[in-house]
Structure 1
Amino acid sequence: MPRRRAVPTLASLCLQSLAQHMQSFWAKDYSDNYLDEYEFRFLVGPFNDLACGLVQELLRLLGTSRRLSRAALHLLLLPHLRQLSLRHCPALANNALGHLVVLRCQGLSSLDLGGCGRLSPAVLVDVAEGLPRLSRLGLAHTQANVQVLSAVGSCCRLLRELDVSGCRKVTPRALRHLGYDPLARAPGCPALRVLLARDLEPDGDAAAAVAFLLLALPRLDVLAHGAVPDALRLLHAGQLDGTADPEGFPALRELARGRGGPPLTLPLRQLEELEEDALGTGRAVCPRAEELSVWLGDGPGPAGLRELPAWECLSRLTLGCAGQRGRALAEVLPLAEALGTRLHALTLHGFSCPDPLSLPALLAGCPGLQSFSTELHVPPDPHAPAEPPTLPPRWATDLLPQGLPQLQSFSLALAGPVPAAHVPVLSSTLASVLSRAPRLQSLCLLALPFPLDSVLEPELGELQELSLAGSQVSPHTVWHLLGSEGPLRRLDLSRCPDIHRRDYDGFLQFVRRQRLDLDITWE
């Protein structure tokens, strides 16, 4: 059966006791006497002696249990804190708190203010100027603006990761301040490697602004912005001429000269939202990319896919069908064979599966997979027999000759009904995955419209997370899972048509009675 809940460690019990009494004792005293006196520094308590990691764990415990108050948060802003996330308590993050963070936590290396929309741009500027040791900064969905980005670019010299996604006061042109300080005429953020800038306010020429970033930030290997493909086209075509910039930024051609070449190449490891016809350009400019996200059109064949194996470092791939007709899963088979064992993660959206054998063939061609996820549409088969085939008591498990020895995560979702003739092959494929993937930890079988009882009958090895949302599974099989050996910790039975409230209540009672470390979801 799933493992019993472990005996809490002494450190865990002490933290839980602190969390339990924080509000009634120390936070109450602080609220009554010092909360609005922002010149007051610290209140002595057991939390002052906690190591950095334990302070962070105490903050997490208070946040997840909804016991984190403004007073408790003030008390835990300690000088030796190295990581702080306010993402789970944005309502507590006002301007006064922002000043306290800068005043008390000079040693922070990681600060996440995602969603803290009450912090003014002026306070965010103070954060950037007052915490020079930051290597990670999260400003997603905040009031960050061009002044904030200018401060980050000028002062955060050690910054390696920055998230400004969803900031409505940030435009692509404003992002240029991260790469160059026009007042000091000096480069900015020399160590920046990851910049997440999705869903920003649009402006006139996003492609040129993103191209500026790609040239000005020499270590940037992840840039998440929708204009990256257009910027790559611009750089590949050498369209770097333009009038002098009135704001004092150098021209693209001047930046390009500092990057060497021709040909111009960039160190980007990850490319998102590439269209099929842009694959050649992407490979020419970013030959060392390891992770790609590609949208395929309704073209006549897999011509664009032939570009992908030429990326020598490619190991993680997402393919989506943007056209109305979609693509057949069989079109991916030559790509899988070409990439072979070096493909570690594969995600497929919007493909059709008229031939059920294409799924096991695809998996067999990628024995090095660590993660696989697909959403498939199975079109009706006009030649299917009127009577469904007789299902065997146990499924064959020989569809994956080499197995999937590295697979840790597998997800399969089906859209619409499945022809009866497809069920034996799909069931045997799942049985093969479960028996030939010894390291499988996460399994999602979503909206599968055929019985899964016989597929889930064998022992599930090292499986920790199992989602059967919307699929056909009986209460008997769930009881089998509860009694089987293994480290299962999460079981999602949401919208399973054969699981009812009385079944769910019985499962919960068994888990509580046996003190199992297992969370079951049902609705």
Structure 2
Amino acid sequence: MRSAQSEAEEEGGSSNGGARPGEEDEEEKEREEEAARRDEIIRTRRGWEPLGMPRRRAVPTLTTLCLQNLAQHMQSLWAKDYSDNYLDEYEFRFVVGPFNDLACGLVQELLQLLGSSRRLSRAALHLLLLPNLRQLSLRPCPALANNALGHLIVLRCQGLSVLDLGGCGRLSPSVLVDLAEGLPGLSRLGLAHTQANVQVLSAVGSCCRRLRELDVSGCKKVTPRALRHLAHDPLARSPGCPALRVLLARDLERAGHGDAVAAAAFLLLALPCLEVLAHDAVPDALRLLRSRQLCDAEDSEGFPSLEELARGRGAAPEGAPLTLPLRQLEEVEEDALGTVHAVCPQAEEVSVWLGDNPGSSGLRELSCWKCLSRVTLGCSGRRCRALAEVLPLAQSLGTRLRSLTLHGFSCRDPLSLTALLAACPGLESFNAELEAPPDPHTRHEPSEEPTASPPRWATDLLPGGLRQLQSFSLSLAGPVPAAHRPALSSTLASLLCGAPRLRSLRLLAVPFPLDSVLEPALPELRELRELSLAESRVSAGAVWQLLGTDGPLRRLDLSRCPDIHRRDYDGFLQAVRKQRLELDIAWE
């Protein structure tokens, strides 16, 4: 849009230059159209007339309508007959009913629809346990999962490849054993927060030979010894779960630290394909493997020793160093990075806790990983590390860096965020919780009042933009010094104008006005689906302008925004209902 000054200059130029009559008419028409657009925008900012809205609710497909109709009448029609006549009969193997001819994908979609709408009853679940079912999740309805249902799953759904029983604490260990033994084709199994124990993990290790992903997090009966049974069958003296790649084993039964470390080391050596092991003792287990001090005592239950397993992986006391194919590492202390890098040189994702020493070599060690693309850094010391310390790491990883998450860093230099983002043009996800440095003048500054003409921030601080960015989250703790606000505002405006693929945007607790930051970027954010401005300074006019953009926005969070009032929120909801928009707005 042209400014009023430029329009006046054009008018002056026309009169002085003696433009032809046809050109004058054309310029006059352009000026009238421009003035009309400007008036329309002004009305929008005042909350009068929205220019348009996020997408209206899409017309559902015929398949979706049919499934919604089935879900709506499931309990009153189909499940009622089954409840009255067959629900307590467990001897039959199959149920011949109205859903047997449904394709596998439709059965799974119907189960998901019933679960998400809280319409899934025991009778409905029985009717949908069909032989062609390939994926089943009882996580949305753990109260329905009893031992009788477990037996039905084994009888009717032997073709399952994915089974999620997370939170189903009523299933006894014996039933979980039957499920592991009766469903040998499983590739993913979720047992989080269940009664899984050593017998269950032994059955999984012996029978589920195709298993690639297993979750036993929160299982209080799983001991370090039980984990060994998962990776090795001491009776048959054969390895277990040879294809396992992902094992989630957080928050298990409390055990001695030495036992937990030895069990984690055993898993790392005994599972040759393991790429992800989420276990608290992994960093210490890697240190143990790196030290080569593996002379543990002879095991009375028939498990191989760590030294024997290490030799099987090609590592000898004086031979080649031991390396593992781990791709993801969690909760690594800064002083352990050298050891972890030596054992896991192919890691692609790592989360690190940094100490108080700015001169430590931890961040330099991270830059040596050749495959690293996803990094999480947190400050565990008593004081925050400066955001500028991350810049050399970002520069060394460059375009390889896909995800960066930062916790507890201090943004002492307002341009350090700009330099950091500019060094990572390939970012797909960025998440930062930053602390602003104290401002001695904050108490004496008058409160900010919205100006009639907000400043236009520079949008060229990131010349190349972040063309691959899909998720951006920034949270600011503490008051931001007035001297920092222009640089931070320009950085955010430049980022948003250069991120056309952005789908999720979270600007949390930003204490300075965001209207002038969002305004130039709105035409570019054509794929934005989720926007959270919780606790940030944004006006109702900016929200109306946001609602006037054409895009797939589905969720807008305005919780605790100081400049958004009840009457504004009611107006937003009224517009959403009137236009039949597929948009959820949160405010409190």
What TM-score results when the alignment is normalised by the length of structure 2?
0.87
Q: Secondary structure at the match of 1:174?
A: helix
Q: Would the aligned equivalents of 2:94 and 2:156 in 1 still touch at CA under 8 Å? A: no
Per-residue CA distance 1:269-299 (angstroms, 9 max, x = gap)? 0000000010000110000000000000001
Q: 1:472 aligns with which of 505, 512, 537?
A: 537
Q: How many angstroms apart in 1 are the aligned matches of 2:180 and 2:382?
A: 46
Q: How many angstroms apart in 1 are the aligned matches of 2:158 and 2:535?
A: 49
Q: Give the deviation of 1:351 after TM superposition.
A: 0.6
Moved more, 31-40 or 190-199: 31-40
Q: Check if 1:231 corresponds to 2:296.
A: no
Q: Structure 1 506/240 Cα, relative in aligned 2: closer, same or farther at 3 Å? A: same
Moved more, 346-355 or 35-44: 35-44
- Which residue of the partner structure matches residue 466 of structure 2? 404
Moved more, 377-386 or 428-437: 377-386
Per-residue CA distance 1:179-215 (angstroms, 9 max, x = gap)? 1000111000000000000111122221111000000
Q: Would the aligned equivalents of 1:376 and 1:413 in 2 still touch at CA under 8 Å? A: yes
Q: Secondary structure at the match of 1:140?
A: coil
Q: 1:496 aligns with which of 543, 554, 561?
A: 561
Kindly indicate which of the two structures has a greater share of residues assigned to helix.
2
- Which residue of the partner structure matches residue 435 of structure 2? 377
Matches within 5 A, 1:73-112: 73-112=125-164
Q: Would the aligned equivalents of 2:217 and 2:248 in 1 still touch at CA under 8 Å? A: yes
- Which residue of the partner structure matches residue 12 of structure 1? 64
Q: Would the aligned equivalents of 2:171 and 2:195 in 1 still touch at CA under 8 Å? A: yes
- Which residue of the partner structure matches residue 320 of structure 1? 378
Q: Give the deviation of 1:319 after TM superposition.
A: 0.3
Q: One-letter code of the match for 1:475?
A: A
Q: One-letter code of the match for 1:439?
A: R
Q: One-letter code of the match for 1:361?
A: A
Q: CA RMSD in A?
A: 1.6
Q: How many angstroms apart in 1 are the aligned matches of 2:192 and 2:443?
A: 54
Q: Secondary structure at the match of 2:143?
A: helix
Matches within 5 A, 1:369-518: 369-382=427-440, 393-458=455-520, 459=522, 460-518=525-583
Q: 2:181 aligns with which of 129, 133, 154?
A: 129
Q: How many angstroms apart in 2 are the aligned matches of 1:146 and 1:384?
A: 60
Q: Secondary structure at the match of 1:48?
A: coil
Q: Secondary structure at the match of 2:250?
A: coil
- Which residue of the partner structure matches residue 139 of structure 1? 191
Q: Would the aligned equivalents of 1:321 and 1:327 in 2 still touch at CA under 8 Å? A: yes
Q: 1:164 aligns with which of 216, 224, 233?
A: 216
Q: One-letter code of the match for 2:569?
A: Y
- Which residue of the partner structure matches residue 364 of structure 1? 422
Q: One-letter code of the match for 1:449?
A: P
Q: Structure 1 421/392 Cα, relative in aligned 2: closer, same or farther at 3 Å? A: farther
- Unaligned 5+ segments in structure 1 are none
Q: How many angstroms apart in 2 are the aligned matches of 1:58 and 1:508?
A: 30
Q: How many angstroms apart in 2 are the aligned matches of 1:510 and 1:46?
A: 42
Q: Secondary structure at the match of 1:310?
A: coil
Q: Secondary structure at the match of 1:410?
A: strand
- Which residue of the partner structure matches residue 206 of structure 1? 260
- Which residue of the partner structure matches residue 249 of structure 2? 197
Q: Give the deviation of 1:501 after TM superposition.
A: 2.6
Q: Structure 1 254/365 Cα, relative in aligned 2: closer, same or farther at 3 Å? A: same
Q: Would the aligned equivalents of 2:130 and 2:157 in 1 still touch at CA under 8 Å? A: yes
- Which residue of the partner structure matches residue 19 of structure 2? none
Task: Report the identity percentage.
Answer: 82
Moved more, 313-322 or 424-433: 424-433
- Which residue of the partner structure matches residue 22 of structure 1? 74
Q: How many angstroms apart in 2 are the aligned matches of 1:371 and 1:353?
A: 19
Q: How many angstroms apart in 2 are the aligned matches of 1:25 and 1:384?
A: 66
Q: Give the deviation of 1:401 after TM superposition.
A: 2.2
Q: One-letter code of the match for 1:395?
A: W
What is the aligned length?
523
- Which residue of the partner structure matches residue 120 of structure 1? 172
Q: Check if 1:287 corresponds to 2:349.
A: no
Q: Structure 1 424/385 Cα, relative in aligned 2: closer, same or farther at 3 Å? A: farther
Q: How many angstroms apart in 1 are the aligned matches of 2:147 and 2:203?
A: 17
Q: One-letter code of the match for 1:247?
A: E
Q: 2:328 aligns with which of 265, 270, 274?
A: 270
Q: How many angstroms apart in 2 are the aligned matches of 1:494 and 1:188?
A: 50
Q: Would the aligned equivalents of 2:227 and 2:267 in 1 still touch at CA under 8 Å? A: yes
Per-residue CA distance 1:289-325 (angstroms, 9 max, x = gap)? 0000000000142521100111100000000000010
Q: Give the deviation of 1:41 after TM superposition.
A: 4.0
Q: Would the aligned equivalents of 1:173 and 1:203 in 2 still touch at CA under 8 Å? A: no
Moved more, 156-165 or 254-263: 254-263
- Which residue of the partner structure matches residue 314 of structure 2? 260
Q: Would the aligned equivalents of 1:354 and 1:381 in 2 still touch at CA under 8 Å? A: no
Q: 2:404 aligns with which of 328, 332, 346?
A: 346
Q: Would the aligned equivalents of 1:332 and 1:362 in 2 still touch at CA under 8 Å? A: yes
What TM-score results when the alignment is normalised by the length of structure 1?
0.97
Q: How many angstroms apart in 2 are the aligned matches of 1:385 and 1:115?
A: 50
Q: How many angstroms apart in 2 are the aligned matches of 1:65 and 1:300?
A: 51
Q: One-letter code of the match for 1:315?
A: S
Q: Give the deviation of 1:172 after TM superposition.
A: 2.5
Q: Structure 1 385/359 Cα, relative in aligned 2: closer, same or farther at 3 Å? A: farther
Per-residue CA distance 1:226-245 (angstroms, 9 max, x = gap)? 10000000000001001101
Q: How many angstroms apart in 2 are the aligned matches of 1:41 and 1:499?
A: 59
Q: One-letter code of the match for 2:422?
A: A
Moved more, 118-127 or 42-51: 42-51
